[in-house]
Structure 1
Amino acid sequence: MRIVVDRDLCDGHGMCEAMAHEYFELDDDDVMRVLVESPPESERAKVHAAVQSCPALALSLQD
């Protein structure tokens, strides 16, 4: 599994960071960074929930 970000869609809401701060981080300019691009399979449910929480639909998961 790999986290994919569409930077053109990301509005910096921070929902992903709030749900999975180990994998997502907003910097001081509200630009989202993926901290771990390929999280372990054991974290799939948590990362999937964070991706689904994005109101801008800027995140997806690829297998």
Structure 2
Amino acid sequence: MASTLKKFFAYLGGQNICNYCGRKYPLIDAGSLELRIVYHNQLTAHLNDGSADAVKQIRYCPICGRKLGD
């Protein structure tokens, strides 16, 4: 188990994943709007009524500052 974690952290550049860039929680969940990091480096805005989605490529997590992969 310890060697698996070492390999995983080496893959990430030695940085831990926070709950937001690890896609566990949305950055914003305000009823009809959800802002979340998906696909390793895309910031998405989703309206729960399904009317609009916006996608923006980002390089760093806005919460923990970890460099995000391609």
- What TM-score does the superposition give when structure 2 sets the normalisation length? 0.28
Structure with bigger helix share is 1
Q: Which structure is higher in RCO with an 8 Å CA cutoff and minimum separation 6?
A: 1
Structure with bigger strand share is 2
Query: Rg larger in 1 or in 2?
Result: 2
